[in-house]
Amino acid sequence: MKVSNHQVAGSNGMRLRTCLASMALAITALQAGVASAQAVQPGALAQREYDDAVATFKAGRTSEAFGRFMDLANRGDADAARIALFMNQYGATLYGKYWDVLPRDVDYWQQLVRNSGTAARPVAEFQPLVVGSRKPGTRVAVARNTATPALQKVVARQ
């Protein structure tokens, strides 16, 4: 049986289509892998950027810190939005600085905070500073539960 040039070309075309389809599947799989890897990264990156903004604030560079919190808030970080809103509202009073913020940014930050509920980054536990004499024999007062007996009964029932 004699094979025509048309049949050979058709066979090559079929191989080419199969090869292209395989390449398309491979590229799609690679893109999915990259996308899933990138989906993990933003959380770690945002946390690092948030920590940098906090460190900048603690170092006294409030304008730079505000810019960092503002950027994070505009990317959807509710904790950064809380801080940016506070700094924006009380900047002139507490820091002697006024930052220009677009009303749409403030609206977006308020929406983030409203919709975040109680979700927030963990906060370090407060350790009160004991002020007083360190002379031998000095005792530190310990906080006691001073609830009335009636209140203790109500709490015990729950």
Task: Name the pLDDT band for 127 (thresholds 50, 70, 90).
Answer: confident
Q: Is the pLDDT of residue 48 over 50?
A: yes
- Residue 126: inside a domain: no
- How does DSSP assign 73-98, residue by residue? HHTT-HHHHHHHHHHHHHIIIIIS--
- Residue 53: inside a domain: yes
Count of domains for the chain:
1
- Residue 134: inside a domain: no
- Residue 97: inside a domain: yes
Token code pair at residue 132 = 């007083």
Task: Name the pLDDT band for 53 (thresholds 50, 70, 90).
Answer: very high
Amino acid at 139: R
Q: Which domain holds residue 11?
A: 5-118
Residue-level pLDDT at 35: 42
Whether the Cβ atoms of residue 99 and residue 66 lie closer than 8 Å to each other: yes
- Residue 31: inside a domain: yes
> Of 18-22, 53-57, 59-63, 129-133, where does mean pLDDT reach its minimum?
18-22
Q: Is the pLDDT of residue 6 over 70?
A: no
Stronger pLDDT, 85 or 12, i.e. the higher one: 85
Residue-level pLDDT at 146: 60
